[in-house]
Structure 1
Amino acid sequence: MKHAFKPLLLVSTLALVLSGCGESTSYDAGTGHDVSKNQPDTGTPTTPTDPSAPQFSEKQLLVSLTDNVFTPTFNEFDSKSDALPSILSAYCDLEVKYDPSLQDGEVLAQLTTAKLNAHNAWKEAMVSWQHAELMIVGPLLENDKSLRNDIYSWPNASTCSVDQDVVFFENGTINGNAYDISKRSDKRRGLDALEYLLFNDDLVHSCSSTSAGEVLADWNTRPEQMRKASRCRYAVEVSKDLSVSSDKLIAQWSGTSGYASVLQNAGEAGNKFASTNKAINEISDALFYMTEELKDYKLATPLGLFNNECGGITCPESVESKYAKHSIENIRANLNAFELLFNGGGASNLGFDDFLDNQQASDTKTAMLQGILNSKAASQAITTSLQTALESNTATVTDTHAKVKDVTDQLKNDFITKLALELPATSAGDND
């Protein structure tokens, strides 16, 4: 466990790889890829026609994805989450001390700057995590995704639960026991709780009169600045817990017995995966975040294509990140991460595109790469928040959903079939 917080990295190598800005919106099947690698995989490297191209084997694919995609992504998030507590503490120290009645312009300017720094730090951590959302394997998959949910519990977040824990933490006890955030439910923790605490300017608690309980009985009558300070103190505690969770992820991922090693050594004696194909299938299952969470929850639901809180019509209230107005940035990060996994992080690294070439499915590879570029271009065409686009430019959101669906249709059909992989259980009956 680390005890010192690392500085926030405003620009990182991974962020540059994932940025996706300024790309062409068409794909040349011959650029950076050897489409002649059509030999069946035997578990040993094949000799590509282009001697400078990476040699393909399922084992080398696992090594490439682990070293070039998963590990940098998890390390990036660990760095961002470890930076949050000190940045939030600097902001909240000012929020706790601030007295609006004094009308001190200099102090207010310092507070405004510190709050902006806290918001930007959360946004950077969220983008980094949205990359990892496409990589839910191993420690993030175990125990019903408990570690993943401690980091980010959406779409099952509960702002009422967060409101209650603001006061429980303030009191220092709950049900006669010392307050311990690590023993609280995931709905009261993580990036989604932080978003509500940092970005929601409505200081009235979000619980119904029956669910508020005694702990929130006097909350709405407290002075405004007192409520801001209480929420801020709890935000610092949540950020510390988030850093602990990211450290757990790194500890379980790294080292000779970490999950990265498990994936890289799949098929060997004593490994949990009886074959390299089984390990690859776990990674391909993670790619299906594109179908339910991204396509259906983040786009189709607020579009009104599925039932939502507005009764099945266009519903800005149903977007993922409504308090920070960060929904479209999350979607773009998801698309960038899908592309990173698909191409292994670049032409010089093995990815699923090379696997498709190897299995004589270069047409599927080309279609999916073009689909990814089209999806990214459609998301970039949304130049406002997703909420605003849903209200005033619905066609851009509809187009993004359609372009993402093109990719997921390929994913569920040709991709799985050509690579002899299995659909995840949650997608087996999905004919959308």
Structure 2
Amino acid sequence: MGHTFKPLLLASALALVLSGCGDSTSYTAGSDHAVNDSNDDSSTPTTPPTTPTDPNGPEFSEKQLLVSLTDNVFTPTFNEFDSKSDALPSVVKSYCDLEAVFDPSQEDSDALAQLTASKLAAQNAWKETMVSWQHAELMIVGPLLANDKSLRNDIYSWPSVSTCSVDQDVVFFENGNINGNAYDISKRSDKRRGLDALEYLLFNDTLTHSCSSTSAGEVLADWNSRADQARKVSRCLYAVEAAKDLAVSSDSLVAQWSGATGYANVLKSAGEPNNKFNSTKEAINEISDALFYMTEELKDYKLATPLGLFNNACGTSICPESVESRYAKHSIENIRANISAFEQLFNGGGDGNLGFDDFLDNQSATDTKTIMLQGISDSKVASEAITTDLQTALDSNTPAVTTTHAKVKDVTDQLKNDFINKLALELPATSAGDND
């Protein structure tokens, strides 16, 4: 069931994990790492003892950190996304079945009310699935990282999107073939599938296609002249197919994650014989790489770009058109979900579970932990202060968006510096040398 972020500004591949080997507490200290061993007067870093970070909490080790993050954060997140994705096709189909038989010429208010409610249910189901996915976006490891993130991109290819490609596949699917070959959505490019395609199909009320005259192709030659209802039905039918395909992709993620040979067990057994990770530190580094979604994609693409701090569709000015979920107007909800997922990875999901906060305590870096926890809290508060959709806020409440960007940047500055150094981890290749 496997399927296929190509970032616009940054390379999509994460850094290679650290080389070397060792057990769950061995490591090479970063340049700012504080060694706490009064019996060692040499300049060589020593291995810290495996000690509880909290007298009432679990004993810390790198292996137990991997177990905690896998069982308490990754697995529940992927399972929840799979559950939401599996439920989506039936909700979308219920709406589209009504769209297919609706006759606008009849002026039937009851039928219109039923259709409107059903469409809203499909849109809300998409929003729930998107929030669940935005948690997973902070957890791009293993199956979601493999093959140049092909499975991740099949699920959600943003910021590499093409509504024109979606428009074309609406008709290709309707025709049932492409150049004589039977239509198969699983063989189509990621820009034509996934949550981003579904957003366009379910929330965009403009029925003309989005292609230029030169890119529309023969397949869309008569699209704009079709009756409105016929175009709504065609888009709806393809939305059902895209929702089914999304469910297949989420099932594939869970299948590759679970079971005796699944990636969850690969992480939990890191450093053991025949494991892809020679040490627990290598596996932890893959997870810390995933945290850097908060730096490039969240801080830069979702906030700085529409704020005009980077080039965007409007040049270098504030640009509501450059937000993430512009059709569903769901951008700020996505941002809040990203921050929440970062917090879950940082604190192990809460409830006293081991997280990176405990790792920092174990490495005598409680000051960094405290600063980052405050930064996460401040980011959440700032994002919650945006009470409209992000497009509106960019125009009418720019200071609130600017503050959210600044608070997220406080966290990512710590992430790229003290966090990496104190835990003796390596920066992802996409962040190396980035001093923003």
Calculate the TM-score normalised by the size of structure 1: 0.90
Aligned to 1:319: 323
* C-alpha distance in structure 2 between counterparts of 1:368 and 1:41, whole Å: 25
Q: 2:352 aligns with which of 348, 351, 357?
A: 348
Gaps of 5+ in 1: 2-37
* 1:282 maps onto 2:278 in alignment: no
Asked if the contact 2:200–2:327 (Cα under 8 Å) also holds between the matched residues in 1, the reply is: yes
CA distance in 1, matches of 2:121, 2:365: 47
- The residue aligned with 2:221 is 217
- With over 3 angstroms needed to count, the CA separation of the structure-2 counterparts of 1:43 and 1:259, relative to structure 1, is farther
Q: Which residue of 1 aligns with 2:51?
A: 46
Deviation at 1:87, TM superposition (A): 0.4
Residue 347 of structure 1, CA deviation: 4.2
Secondary structure of 2:409's partner? helix
Map of 1:34 onto structure 2: none
Alpha-carbon displacement from aligned partner over 1:303-352 (angstroms, at most 9, x marks no partner): 00000010110000000000000000000000000000000011410000
Deviation at 1:269, TM superposition (A): 0.4
**3-state SS in 1 of match to 2:430:** helix
Find the partner of 1:131 among 112, 135, 139: 135
Query: Cα distance, 1:429 vs. partner?
Result: 2.0
Residue 144 in 1 paired to residue 121 in 2? no
Answering whether residue 251 of structure 2 is matched by residue 243 of structure 1, we say: no
Partner of 2:59: 55
Secondary structure at 1:163 match in 2: helix
Whether 2:376 is the aligned partner of 1:378: answer no
Correspondence for 2:75: 71
Q: What is the CA-CA distance between 1:43 and the residue it aligns to?
A: 9.2
Query: 2-side partners of 1:178 and 1:218: how far apart?
Result: 22
Which structure 2 residues correspond to residues 33-432 of structure 1 after superposition, within 5 A?
A: 45-48=50-53, 50=55, 52-432=56-436
Q: Which amino acid aligns with 1:255?
A: G
Is the Cα–Cα contact under 8 Å of residues 66 and 264 in structure 1 kept in the other structure? yes
Rounded to whole Å, the distance in 2 between the matches of 1:57 and 1:183 is: 44
Distance in 2, Cα, partners of 1:42 & 1:235 = 55
Q: Percent same amino acid at aligned positions?
A: 80
1:54 CA displacement? 1.3
Query: Which one has a larger percent helix, Structure 1 or Structure 2?
Result: 1
Whether the 8 Å CA contact 1:43–1:57 is kept in 2: the answer is no
Question: How far apart in 2 are the matches of 1:41 and 1:260?
Answer: 30
> 1:150 and 1:350 mapped to 2: Cα distance?
32
Distance in structure 2 (CA, Å) of the matches to 1:205 and 1:399 = 37
SS class of match (1:240)? helix
Hey, what does 2:41 align to over in structure 1?
Answer: none
SS at match of 2:306: helix
Instruction: Provide structure 2 residue ranges, at least 5 long, that are not aligned to the other structure.
Output: 2-35, 38-44
Shift, 1:45, TM fit: 4.4
Residue aligning to 2:27: none
Contact 1:149-1:186 at 8 Å conserved across structures: yes
Relative CO higher for 1 or 2, CA cutoff 8 Å, sep ≥ 6?
2
Q: Residues 139 and 252 of structure 1 are in contact (CA less than 8 Å); yes or no, is this contact kept in structure 2?
A: yes
Question: 2 CA distance for matches of 1:49 and 1:177?
Answer: 62
| Cα pair 1:74 1:250 within 8 Å, conserved | yes
Paired amino acid for 1:425: A
Does the aligned pair in 1 maintain the 2:70–2:264 contact within 8 Å?
yes
Whether contact under 8 Å (1:41, 1:58) holds in the other structure is no
Q: How many residues align?
A: 395
SS in 1 for 2:171: helix
1:290–1:109 CA distance, 2 compared to 1 (3 A): same
1:74 alignment partner AA:
F
TM-score, normalised relative to structure 2: 0.89
Structure 2 Cα separation of the partners of residues 105 and 49 of structure 1: 63
Identify which range, 183-192 or 340-349, moves more after superposition: 340-349
Change in Cα spacing, 1:284 to 1:103, as seen in structure 2 (3 Å) is same
- Name the amino acid aligned to 1:298: K
Contact kept in structure 1, 2:162 and 2:191, CA below 8 Å: yes
Q: Distance in 2 between matches of 1:295 and 1:377?
A: 16
**Residue 207 of structure 2 aligns to a residue in which SS?**
coil
